[in-house]
Every structure is written in C-alpha cells, then in structure tokens.
Amino acid sequence: MKKILLSSILAISLYAQNDNFFELGLGAKQSENNFSSDSSKIINTYAKAEQTKTGIPYFRYSYKNGVFLSKTDINDIFIGASFDKFEIGLLNNLENFLSSTWKNPFLLNRQREKTVIQNIGISLKYDFIKSVKNASSIQSKLYSTKVKNDEVIDSLKRDGKKLIIISKNRYLNFLYDFSFTNNDTKGKASSFKAYKTSLGFVFPIDEKLKIITILSYEKENYNEINTVLNQKIKNKHKVFFAMLKWDEPFALKNKYINFNFIKSKNNSNHDFYLTNDQLTTVSFGFKF
C-alpha cells in the first residue's frame, strides 16, 4: 500500500492549493504483494503473490492558523508549526491506521497472522522558493519503526530507524523531485538504501480543469543476504500517476473533485518481492 499511495499524494502536494482544505473519497485497489495482509493467508512457495482486490478510504487535509499547521504529508499526518520558510513538527504514519502486514511474511504452509507497522517521526522542511508558479524545498524525515509482535528470524527483524530526505521542485507546469531513504533495521537483511526520482507535468485544460501526470523510478538495494530466500534483494520500482482535477464543479464555490489513477510495479531479483499494484480514487474536496 505504501508505495502506491506515496506517488499519488506526492504529485498532488507539488501542485497543491494554499487554502485550508479537506478532501474525502474512496478507492479501488488491485494488489499483488506478499507483505500486505491483503495477500493469501497461507502460502506454500516463495512465488509471486496472487492478485487481490480491495476498497480503501482516501483523504487529505491541510489546516493552518497562525503558526500552527496540521496536514497530510505524503503518507503521514503532520502536526507542527510553520513560520517564514520553515516547517517543523511530528509525524504519525497513515499506515498505522489504514494497513497491516504479516507477523512473519515468510511463513510457509501455515496461516500467517496480521500485525501492524508503527512509524512515528519528526520532520523539518525548508522552502527555498514558494510561489504560485514556482516552488523548491528540501525536507528531512526521521522515523522510529516498530513491528508489533515481529516473528521473523533475527537477521530480518524490522524494528529500527528510517531517514528520508526529499527535494521537491516545481517550475511553471513542470514537476520533479529526488529522494534518498536509509532504512536501518535491527535485522540487517531488512536494511536498505533507496534512491528515487520523479518527473511530471501539469496540463491546464481551462481555468477550472487540469490534468497532472507523473512518472517515478526508485532503486532499492538491501544491505545483506536474506537467508530465508538465500539472496540479497534488489528492487526497482516504477510508478505512473495521473490526476484529473475539476475546480468548482457545477458552479459550486470552494469545492473540487479529483480523479486519480496510479499504476505501480516492482521488478525484483526474487519473485517473492515482485509487486504489481493499481489504485483508482474519486474524492471531493472543500476549501475553507
């Protein structure tokens, strides 16, 4: 779930309005992911996951009053302060509430049990440029990760720290970003470093209607050999995102509708890590 929602909200945030707003919608997700609790409870081989279909909630918001700021920030709820060009605050990952994983994803021939991954962190952001047409910022996020009742072997333990550094940029209708992730876990076979780049464009149709598209590529290399699979994992994530945004539909002031489509695919050197996800959402937003 994380990878596919990340690109959706990232693309929107690069072209977000400055108003306070609340947006609520529904999504339909198709997923092939052995680490998601939507996958089969019982597996007998380390093969690619079977496809599952689920409905999910979708929401975003931003509220600022003086220096106080609370908002959805990529996959997090951010609560903190914004002043001049700085933002600083606490992060609570949405996946703490909206998704779950397996206590032991690698368990064969027995029923796998669900658990949750808790990500709590802090964020510091600096805006180099922030205007209606152009924007450039750098953000650092540091998380503490805890997997409740983690039952994988010691070399794969997932508790740890995660550092993400993100550079977001917009020049007129051109969007581009870069990010680096260092996931440092107790089990070093679950630790990895990742580099990501995204390119996108905004196509204004008229004053009320626009289309946003974005392509992302991420390379992810694990630190040590996964002794269950007897292989050091290397992943390459590719994501395509498209959004149609309709401001003031049916002449409704301070309202908007978003239609999102996201296709995400992970090519890995092991079948167990292969993923193929698709998400479609429709949401209605209020500006205030």
- pLDDT tens column, 21-48: 999 999 898 999 999 988 999 999 999 9
Q: Quick one: tokens of 253? A: 């002031």
Residues 6+ positions from 256 with CB-CB distance below 8 Å = 245, 246, 247, 248, 249, 284, 285, 287
2-287 under CATH 2.40.230, yes or no? yes
Task: Find the range with the poorest average confidence among 8-17, 29-38, 212-221, 247-256.
Answer: 8-17
The answer to whether the beta carbons of residues 218 and 211 sit under 8 Å apart is no
Per-residue confidence band for 62, with pLDDT thresholds at 50, 70 and 90? very high
Give the pLDDT score at 131.
85
Cβ neighbors of 175 (< 8 A, separation 6 or more) are 11, 14, 15, 169, 198, 199, 200, 201, 202, 212, 214
Lowest mean per-residue pLDDT among 74-78, 175-179, 208-212: 74-78
pLDDT of residue 6: 45
What's the pLDDT at 132? 78
Cα distances from 150 to residues 102, 115, 230, in angstroms, run 8, 8, 20
Q: Is 5 helix (H, G, I), strand (E, B) or coil?
A: helix
User: Which residues are CB-neighbours of 226 under 8 A, at least 6 positions away?
Assistant: 155, 156, 189, 232, 233, 270
pLDDT, one tens digit per residue, over 133-176 is 899 999 999 999 999 999 999 999 999 999 999 999 999 999 99
Which residues does residue 180 pair with via DSSP β-bridges, in sequence order?
165, 195
Neighbouring residues of 251: CB distance < 8 A, sequence distance ≥ 6: none
C-alpha–C-alpha distance, residues 163 and 181, integer Å: 6
Report pLDDT for 123: 97
Nearest to 5 by CA among 47, 60, 42, 46: 60
Average pLDDT over residues 228-240: 96
Q: What is the pLDDT of residue 17?
A: 55
Identify the pLDDT of residue 285: 93
pLDDT of residue 242: 93
Please write the tens of the pLDDT for every residue from 67-124: 999 998 878 899 999 988 999 999 998 776 666 899 999 999 999 999 988 899 999 9
What is the reported pLDDT for 1? 37
- Whether residue 284 is predicted with pLDDT greater than 70 in this model: the reply is yes
The gap between the terminal CA atoms of the chain, to the nearest Å, is 30
**In this predicted structure, what is the pLDDT of residue 133?**
82
Instruction: Give 3 or 277, the one with higher predicted confidence.
Output: 277
Kindly list the domain boundaries of the chain, sorted by start residue: 2-287
- In this predicted structure, what is the pLDDT of residue 68? 97
Please tell me the predicted confidence (pLDDT) of residue 4: 42
Please provide the DSSP assignment of 43-74 as one string: -SSS-PPPPEEEEEEEEEEEEEETTEEEEEET
Which pLDDT belongs to residue 146?
94
- Summary mean pLDDT of the chain: 90
Residue carrying the six token digits 């994380």: 2
